[in-house]
Amino acid sequence: MTVADTMPTEVPLARPFPRDVPVPRHVLPARTRMTCVLAVDIGGTKLAAALVDEGGALLRSATRPTPRADVMSALAALVAEVTADGPPPHAVGVGCAGPLDLTTGAVSPVNMPSWRGFPLREELRRLTGLPVVLAGDAQCMALGEHWLGAGQGSTSLLGVVVSTGIGGGLVIGGAPVLGPAGNAGHVGHMSVDPGGERCECGGRGCVERYSSGPNLARWALENGWAPAGERDARALAADAAAGHPVAVAAFERGARALAGMIASAAAAVELDTVVIGGGVSAAGEVLFGPLERALDDVAGLAFVRAVRVRPTTLGVRAGLAGAARLAWRLSGPGAPPPPDPAMAGEGPPPVVGAGPIG
């Protein structure tokens, strides 16, 4: 297993999504403008939007911090900034932190207390006058990696975001599996230790309790880690890389919980690829080394052991890529085929449990 450690230092116009590079607002010359969709990514700390063409190129993009209140006004201003004087989009794809309810188009992000049962799909439809399709942010990450990133060519993909919490998304046969209400893929709340610690969700032994950034740091602090400066997962990763025994043990413990979840998911769904992103994935070998060893230990069946675990190649842009892919696949006749040659010529597959598109 290798961890990508290089990235472009600048972002050219109209190129596929880069890895973890802040992309300024771009405008293509008129002669190169083309049909596009509007992609929106909504999280507790950042709002992002982009116009994306059928090949996955960013035509225009912008971000802004997520306010504590009146999020929709900030989102409306962001959409206006991205779409002003640009090529007109013909559909909107949006990924949002959950939980969400695709039957109504409402969202209730845990880390956005001002939105409880907020009718996001209808508000965006009213704002843009366009058809809107909604999915979870981690589900969009998985779809983005499948389209343009580390999951290209996979027939059975799990995308995992390891950050403040742990989220996930499934892409099976090229189609995102969203579930009846849109909450499929909540792998962070799979129990890897039924007799273990109580999770913030109310369950017991959830992988998030062992492997999320705050919980990695929490366990390390409880077991003697005493950093001079910051006391977060980033500092913990730096100390683990330097060989601090408690920091190393924290990542080994978290990686083993992730391995248990991945092995269980692979046994249930017959995964061929797992792509891991989120802030904690930036720890690199500190995370992926023990994860590989733990998977080798806990996975037994040959098809489970065959799963490929890869770091994200799109980084923070995976969510926007997935939101764009949703819009392209679900915006009606003329949606482009995916760039993956193995799927060339196929029509857009259904989104399993996607809910209505208006």
Is residue 352 situated within a structural domain? Answer: no
pLDDT mean over 14-32: 39
Is residue 321 located within the same domain as residue 289? no
Is residue 100 situated within a structural domain? Answer: yes
For the purposes of burial, counting CB atoms within 10 Å of the CB of 88, is it exposed (0-12), middle (13-18) or buried (19 or more)?
Answer: exposed
The pLDDT > 90 percentage for the chain reads: 75
Is residue 320 located within the same domain as residue 309? no
Judge whether 172 and 180 are in contact, CB under 8 Å.
no
Q: What is the pTM of this model?
A: 0.82
Strand, helix or coil for residue 241: helix
Is residue 224 situated within a structural domain? Answer: yes
Positive or negative: CA dihedral 284, 211, 316, 140: positive
Is residue 208 located within the same domain as residue 332? no
Q: What is the CATH number of the domain that holds 271?
A: 3.30.420.40
Tell me how far apart the alpha carbons of residues 16 and 313 are, in angstroms, rounded to a whole number: 11
Judge whether 179 and 227 are in contact, CB under 8 Å.
no
Is residue 268 located within the same domain as residue 280? yes
**Tally of domains in the chain:** 2
Is residue 71 located within the same domain as residue 182? no
Tell me how far apart the alpha carbons of residues 123 and 233 are, in angstroms, rounded to a whole number: 36
Strand, helix or coil for residue 119: coil
Residues of the domain holding 94: 30-141+316-343
Is the model's pLDDT at 239 over the cut of 50? Answer: yes
Is residue 305 located within the same domain as residue 161? yes
Is residue 232 located within the same domain as residue 308? yes
Is residue 257 located within the same domain as residue 302? yes
Is residue 93 located within the same domain as residue 198? no
Is residue 222 located within the same domain as residue 264? yes
The 10 Å Cβ neighbour count of residue 341 is 10
Q: Largest alpha-carbon pair distance within the chain?
A: 62
For 175-193, write each residue's pLDDT tens digit.
999 999 899 999 999 999 9
Is residue 22 situated within a structural domain? Answer: no
Is the model's pLDDT at 221 over the cut of 90? Answer: yes
pLDDT band at 331 (very low <50, low <70, confident <90, very high): low
For the purposes of burial, counting CB atoms within 10 Å of the CB of 7, is it exposed (0-12), middle (13-18) or buried (19 or more)?
Answer: exposed
Is residue 169 located within the same domain as residue 203? yes
pLDDT band at 96 (very low <50, low <70, confident <90, very high): very high
Is residue 230 located within the same domain as residue 109? no
pLDDT mean over 47-75: 94
Residue 111: predicted pLDDT? 77
